A and B are shown apart, each in its own frame.
Chain A
C-alpha cells in the first residue's frame, strides 16, 4: 500500500483545485453565527430548475425537498389547501384520459386525485402477506389477485439482483461513496467513523477562543497539523497501527498531491470526479460550508493565522476512505479497493451482492443472517459466499410468485373504496383496463406527490392574496369616488419601516390608531456603512452581506457630553476587564478549583434570579451597568474630515503606536515617555535621512545599535513610513459622506419609496433589532438588511442626512421639496417586545414637541395591539391576553433565558409586495408579507424598480428559502432542536458533543410542537408596475431569469390602470387573472374568515 510520491504538475494541481471549488456548489453559504444570515442553502445551484435542484440535493445531501405527504394531507383536512387548487394542478397532467371499470367510467384525474389525497400504495413485501391474511377483505383481494395475474409482469430474485447491481454500479462514486458502499454491503461502520474523525479535527481547528486548551500547531494548516499530530496520536479505532503509520509517513506535503494519489489509486473515472468530491464534501455539509467561507475570506484574522480550506479537508477525508475501504475489501472480499474491482465484483457476483444488500436491510431470515455474520469472522470468507447466496435465492424466490398480483390487488381495492366502486365492478372490468389504472398509479409514485401538493398550496395562497388585494382596491376606489377630496390631507406622521414581515402587523396597527402613514423600505436605508459604536472595539458592517462597504461612520459623544467620555471609557474598561478576569478564572487549569469555593455563591445569584425573576433581575443589572458605565449622549460622524483634521488623526495614531511600542519594548512609562521623545522618534522613522543622534540624548540607557534596530522595527513592523501614513490617510478619508453622496442617498431612497411630496411634520425612520437571552441565534432575529445587526445606526445616519439644510437645498433643485417644518426622527423597534425607541431626540426642534408626544402615544398603543396579536400565535399561551397583559408577556419572553422561542421571527413569510401602501392598506396580511413601498410614477424608466428587484428581492428570497428548507427537512437543512445545541468554537452550533456543524434554522423557529408552523411556500413577488417595464428588467438580469424561469420565485404584476392582475409563467409570458366579480365579494369575505379561524 506504500505509494511512490508521484510528482504532479502545477496544472494538474490547479485543475483539481477548481474541481473542488465547483464540487462545493452543493454547500450552503454560511457565515459565523455571530452574524447569522438567512441564505438559500441551495443558492449555488439556482441555475438548475427548482425541482432539479431538489433532486440533486437529495442525491448528495440526502435532504427531503418537500414535506411528508401526511403533513400535506393534514393541511388539506384543515382547509389550508383547497380542492380547487389541487384540481387546477392535477388537471394538466391527466389530460382527459379515462377507463371503464364495471359500469362506471373513471377518469385518470380521479385516480390521481385519490392517490394524492389518500396515498394508495401497497405495503412493503415483508408485511404484505400478513396484512392481507388479517384483512377483512381477504377473500376479495385474493379473487382480484387471480383476476389480474395474467397481465402483470412477474419478477424473480435473479432479476431483482440484476436490477440492484445495475443501479449500484451506476451509483457508486456518483451518489454513493466507497465507504457508504462498504457500510451497506459489508456491514461496516466506516462512514460514521470518518465523519466523527473529521468533526473532531474541524471543531478543534476552527475554534476561535472558546476552547480552554487550544489545538497546537494550527499554523501548519489543517492538513499539516492533522498529519503531524496523527503520527503521535494513538491509532484510531478501525485502523491497524503499523499500516496506518506507514500511510501517514508516506503522505505528500501538498494536499492536492494527496488527493490526486487517492483518486489514481481508487481508479475513479475522470467523469465521476466532480460528483465524488461533491459527495465527500456533502457528508458533513456544516463543517465544509464553514471551511469554504474561511477559504474565501483570506483576510479574516483567524484564517490568516491558521489557514484551512476544502482541498485540505478532502485530503484528510480521502486518505481515511482509501485506507479503511481497502482494509475492509481485502478482509472480506479479498480484493483491492478500486472502482474497477468493485464494479466487476458486483457484476460477476450479482446473487452474492443482492444477498449482502438484503442483509443490510434486514430482509434475510434470522438463520441466514446468522450464517452470514459468522462467515465474516472466518479467515477467507469470499469463497463461501457463493454457496450461501444460492441458498438465499432459493428461499427468496418462494416469496416472489404472488407478490406482484397481491400488491396490485391491494392497490386496486383501495382505489375502489375511495371512489365508491364495488368489488364487483373491479372483477367485471377487463384486466387490461385494470392494468392501465395500475400504470397511472405507478407513474405517479408517492415520492412525486410533494411537487403537486406544494404547487396546490402555493396556488391557494396566491389566489387568496390576489382576492384580498383586489377587494381592497375596489373598496378603496369606490370610497374615493364617493367622498372625493380636493387634495390629499397632510398626514399626521409618516413612518418608514424595514421590509421585514414583522413590520406588517405593527404598521397596520399604527395606521389604525391615528392618521399615520407608513412605508416600507430596506432596513439599511441604502447607507452602506461600516459602523464603529462608542463602546465597541469592532466595526460592524451594516448592510446586506452580499454588498461592500462604502463609508465609515463613527459614534462620538455630543459636544456637550465630552467631559463624560472619560468616565464612560473607564467604566467600559472596568466591565471588560472584569469579564475577562472571570472568564480566565473559569478556564484556567487550576483556578477553577479555588474559584468555585470563593466565588461560587456569587454565581448563584444570576442563576437563581434569572430563573425566578428574570425581568427584575434584568432591570437591576441594567441599572448597575449604567451606573458603572454612565451613558453618553452621542451623535454620528456624518461629514468628511477636512484634510488638516485627517492629517492630525494620522499623526496622532502614529504617536500612539510608538508610545505603545516603547512601553512594550523598553518598559518605559510616565515621565520617561515624553511627548518630545515620541515625536522625535516619529520623525526619524518617517525620514530615512534623519540621524538618530538626537535620540541618543533622550535615551541614554540604550546603545546605538538598540536605537537603530528599534527605529527599523518602527519602519518595517509598525509601518511608520510615508507609504503607511498615506494608506492610513486614505482609510480615514473614507469616514463620512460627501455632500453629493448624502444627497444621492436621500434622493434615491425617497424616489424608490415614492415619497417625493406631501411630507408630514414628522417622518419616522425606524430600524429594528431584537432582544433575547441565552440565544446563539440572536443575530438571526436582528435586521438581515443590516448584515445581522441592529438597524439604529443606519436609521440615525439617514435621518441626520435628511435633516441637513444643505442636502434639502440641493434636493429641491432636483424636484423634491421637503418643507422646512418636516423633521426626520430616527428610531428602532424591538421586534421581540414591540417597543419603539425614539433616538437622537436632542436634535428635534422644540416646535415639534406636541407632534412627537402624539406620535409616542400612537406608537405605544400600536405596540400593545401588536403584542396582543402576536401572543395569539404562541402555542403555549392558550388564553387570549389583553394588550396590556400581552405587552408584559413579550417583555418577559425577551429576558427569559429558558425561552427557546422569544419570537417567531420571520416564520410564516410567503410574499414580497412591491407597490404603494394604498393597495395593501387595511388588509390583514398576517405578518406574512414583505412590503416595499414603490410608485412607478416617480420612477420613469424603471431604474429604481430594477434595484428593488435585484437587491431586496434577493434578500427576501434567501429568507424565504432558508425557512422553506428548514421546515421541510429540519434534520438536514435546519439545525435541529435548540435543546441539544452546543456552541462550537464561537462560530456555530453542534447538536450534542460531536456532530456536524448545524447550519439553518432551529426546530423551534419553524415548527410548533411536531408540526410545521412556517408553511413552506416559494416566495410570491407582486409588483405594481407596467408589464413592459418588468419584462425589460428581467431581460437584463440573469438573476431574475433564474428566479422566474427556474421557478424559485413566483411573479405577479398588478396593472394600476386596468386594475388587473397578471401572472408570469415559467416560459416568460403573462397570463391575465380573471377579475373579481362583484357578487363574489360577500361569499369571499365569509370563506376568508373561515380560513383565518382554521389557522388560529
Chain B
C-alpha cells in the first residue's frame, strides 16, 4: 500500500469581474503562487444587485472566480493586495483550509 500523507495549505478564492482578472493573476504571479485556476461564472448577486453574464458573449462583463492554493505565509501579502483592490472594485474573497498530497508542487518547502 502506498503511503499518502496530506499536508495542510490555504486556498484563496476571489470572485471578480473579468476585467480585473489580470490584476489578480498578476498579484499571484508576483507572490510566486505556483498556479491558479479560473472558472467562468454565469450569474451572481452582491451588494450591487444581481449580475448575469452570458457564457459565450460575456466579454466585458464576464464574472470569474480565481482559485489558488498557497502555503500559509503567502496569504497575508495576498490579502494586503486584494484589500486595496476591493476598496475600488466590487468582488469578494475568502480563505479556507485545504490539504494536498504533493506539497512541493504547491510551493511548500519540504
Contact = CB atoms under 8 A, between A and B. Distances in A.
Interface string B28-52: 0111000000000000000011111
A950 B22 contact: no
B94 interface: no
A12 B80 contact: yes
B54 A14 contact: no
Interface string A536-550: 000000001011001
Interface in A1009-1066: 1035-1039
Contacts of A876: none
Interface stretch (A16-24, A48-56, A168-176, A851-859): A16-24
Interface string B1-45: 000000000000000000000110011011100000000000000
Given A15-B84, A18-B84, A295-B26, A946 B54 contact: yes
A706 interface: no
Given A11-B80, A14-B80, A296-B22, A1037 B52 contact: yes
B57 interface: yes
B80 A15 contact: yes
A22 B84 contact: yes
Contact of B29 (A9, A11, A298, A546): A298
B77 A11 contact: yes
B23 A18 contact: yes
B78 interface: yes
A11 B79 CA distance: 8
A617 B88 CA distance: 57
Given A15-B84, A17-B27, A18-B84, A1037 B61 contact: yes
B59 A19 contact: no
B60 A546 contact: yes
Question: Chain A contact residues: over half helix, strand or loop, or mixed?
Answer: helix
A1039 B61 contact: yes
A18 B61 contact: no
Contacts of B87: 22
Contact of A1035 (B27, B49, B58): B49
A946 B61 CA distance: 12
B93 interface: no
A10 interface: yes
B81 A14 contact: yes
Contacts of B54: 946-947, 950-951
A181 to B, nearest CB: 27
A260 B91 CA distance: 27
A827 B26 CA distance: 42
Contacts of A13: 30, 77
Interface string B42-76: 00000011111010111111000000000000001
Interface residues of B, number: 32
Contacts of B89: 22
A1036 B77 CA distance: 34
A14 B61 contact: no
Question: Chain B contact residues: over half helix, strand or loop, or mixed?
Answer: helix
Nearest to B59: A546
- Scoring A14, A295, A946 by chain B CB atoms within 10 A of each residue's CB, the highest score goes to A14
Interface string A906-941: 000000000000000000000000000000000000
Contact of A18 (B22, B27, B29, B58): B27
Contact of B52 (A9, A10, A19, A1036): A1036
B100 interface: no
Interface in A694-745: none
A295 B26 CA distance: 8
A546 B57 CA distance: 9
A752 B2 CA distance: 57
Contacts of B83: 15
Nearest to A292: B22
A430 B78 CA distance: 68
Contacts, number: 84
A152 B24 CA distance: 57
A954 interface: yes
Contacts of A11: 76-77, 79-81
Contact of A1037 (B51, B82, B85): B51
Contacts of B82: 18
A14 B30 contact: yes
Contacts of B49: 1035, 1038
A715 B78 CA distance: 35
Nearest to A309: B26
B80 to A, nearest CB: 4
Contacts of A951: 54, 57, 59
Nearest to A19: B84
Nearest to A745: B56
A671 B45 CA distance: 67
Contacts of B27: 14, 17-18
Interface in B89-108: 89
Interface in A868-908: none
B50 A22 contact: no
Contacts of B48: 1038
A1038 B81 contact: no
Contacts of A1039: 60-61
- Scoring A10, A547, A947, A1035 by chain B CB atoms within 10 A of each residue's CB, the highest score goes to A10
Contact of B51 (A21, A528, A1038): A1038
Given A11-B81, A17-B81, A18-B23, 18 more contacts: A9-B77, A14-B81, A15-B80, A18-B27, A21-B23, A22-B85, A22-B87, A295-B26, A296-B22, A296-B26, A950-B57, A950-B59, A950-B61, A951-B54, A951-B57, A1036-B50, A1036-B51, A1038-B51
Interface of A: 9-15, 17-19, 21-22, 295-296, 298, 526, 528, 544, 546-547, 550, 946-947, 950-951, 954, 1035-1039
Interface of B: 22-23, 26-27, 29-31, 48-52, 54, 56-61, 76-85, 87-89
16 contacts: A10-B76, A11-B79, A13-B30, A14-B27, A14-B81, A15-B84, A18-B82, A18-B85, A547-B57, A547-B58, A947-B54, A1037-B51, A1037-B61, A1038-B48, A1038-B49, A1038-B51
5 smallest beta-carbon distances between A and B, as pairs: A14-B81, A11-B80, A18-B84, A10-B77, A546-B59
